[in-house]
């Protein structure tokens, strides 16, 4: 994210930032979809690997079977966890852009108000 401006904004700058944020949000929606898809695929792969490992772990104590399943599926679980973190990160980033968009719209309303009274001697 950019550092907030220290000088007053003009309407053109506000409009440009609104357009930038709108584009970033639109791109982010596709990224969220892609990351969610990857997470769900990793989750399904983990479930399949776990089921196969459970079937292969016959004839042992419950504790031994559970340990064997955990060891047999560690790569799939790690991939699932990584995909979940990526999805959550992109989702939070898009939400941050949406909040920034709301803020810049409020700033835009203030800038329009300021420009509408400029030179009229109001508020002085």
7 Ramachandran zone, left/alpha/beta (phi>0; psi -120 to 50): beta
Residue 3 DSSP class: P
pLDDT computed for residue 4 by the predictor? 62
Run of H or E including 6: none
- Mean pLDDT by groups of 10 residues along the chain of 124 residues: 68 90 93 96 96 87 91 95 96 94 90 78 55
How many whole angstroms separate alpha carbon 48 and alpha carbon 109? 53
pTM over 0.85: no
How many whole angstroms separate alpha carbon 13 and alpha carbon 99? 18
């Amino acid at each position: 994210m950019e550092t907030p401006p220290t000088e007053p904004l003009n309407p053109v700058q506000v409009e440009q930032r609104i357009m930038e944020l709108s584009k970033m949000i639109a791109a982010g929606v596709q990224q969220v979809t892609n990351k969610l898809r990857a997470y769900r695929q990793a989750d399904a792969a983990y479930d399949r690997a776990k089921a196969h490992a459970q079937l292969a772990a016959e004839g042992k104590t419950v504790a031994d079977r559970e340990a064997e399943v955990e060891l047999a599926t560690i790569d799939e679980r790690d991939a699932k966890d990584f995909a979940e973190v990526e999805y959550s990160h992109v989702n939070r980033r898009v939400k941050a852009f949406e909040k920034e968009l709301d803020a810049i719209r409020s700033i835009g309303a203030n800038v329009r108000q300021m420009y509408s009274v400029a030179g009229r001697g109001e508020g002085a």
